[in-house]
Structure 1
């Protein structure tokens, strides 16, 4: 197993069309996962697309398999933060202690890109979660 850092970026300039160099990306969530050493970035992209798009009911059924429990919990956090679904044009950063990749979500596949230059926002932190909770509380 190899620890992978997975960071999700939403494309705020072009939703549902492929990422192009220079599009503005906004950080949303990040997480660490121990994954098999031979896994390829496209497989991680497919996992992320599934977790951040399917109904929680489906993720709940899948959690019966031990390796999917964390997927259910990650999907719950993503939805509690009211983040939109992962879409064509969005980008993932994947990193291990030895290398990193930037796959972009295209209509039918994940395409590796060079590290983008227009990345903004704050990945998931305790402060970001606290701000979200405070905002939800003030709307009551």
Structure 2
């Protein structure tokens, strides 16, 4: 008889846990804004795109950011809960988190460079297209 009640308690607790996960509060705009500020996402995003690439599109860096910012923030809001964003904000304010905020843009840029380099040298993609958009010097 006691086993049945323990089983019911475990089932109830599991159900409450899953209910909590399924009803996680979406990230608030304020929390996402704070995360973007801490991570300097605007500056890092603008640094990735070369001015020549923007010129081809008829944009400057600020115009580019104004177009992409709402989409990026919506992506974060769609995929992260308020609790997750707050946890990230707390982490990135620690010494380890601050160290990662410095290292990650360089790692991201290097990753981007390796991917483009691989595409240029290991596919049949026309290299002149890459040169035209300004990524011929990788």
Shorter-chain TM range is: under 0.3
The structure whose Rg is larger is 2
Q: TM-score, normalised by structure 2?
A: 0.22
TM-score by length of 1: 0.22
Which structure dedicates a bigger proportion of its chain to strand? 1
